[in-house]
Structure 1
């Protein structure tokens, strides 16, 4: 992992939560629902970063991060219906699936059908 996260991504998430609470205490106009959404988005983005760095579960982490960012945007006034959110998530899922397809190889080689004898070999 990069030096920024070290071995403690959860510690960084705690710091984000505390910074948001501190800013709210000193005048930032953020509701408790918005604070929760900020923390959820931060968790999803850190999860994505850890997945990319560890090369494990990147597709799921990316989808979770996009979903969290959309939730954050809606929480701050983006006026998307549930249908619009679903369409965007479907587009992202399709793009991730297409990218994943280029990254995955089969664990076993393709089975070739048995060769049929040619008429020349019969004679």
Structure 2
């Protein structure tokens, strides 16, 4: 799987190197913030790969990206306590559950017992 003709790991490595270079030239970010940016980028690439590969894990990838985004925002100064963070993540998870429910099909048509469907 490639993004713009390159492997995702190469893009993530480029982002990490670019961020380190910018920091060396005066961008004011801490090592923790650099790590959070890289973690968020990895989660975003995971969402892209899940969508493109159609592996059925899009909702899980989006939830992981949302968690990485929350960590990123908090790392850059969002002053939310764990209660607010938990509430936002609960709404994200609920919204994804609503979406995912429309994407799932039963392996057996309704009204047919599983034993009959096998035979």
| TM-score, normalization by structure 2 | 0.88
Q: Offset of 1:2 from its aligned partner?
A: 6.5
CA RMSD of aligned residues (A): 1.6
Aligned length: 112
Query: Shift of the alpha carbon at 1:71?
Result: 0.6
Larger Rg: 1
After the TM superposition, which segments of 4 or more aligned residues of structure 1 sit over 3 Å from their partners?
Answer: none
Residues 100-115 of structure 1 mapped to structure 2, 5 A cutoff? 100-111=100-111
Which residue does 2:30 correspond to in 1?
31
Q: List alignment gaps of at least 5 residues for structure 2.
A: 114-119
1:31-70 alignment, distance < 5 Å: 31-56=30-55, 57-70=57-70
TM-score (structure 1 length as normaliser): 0.85
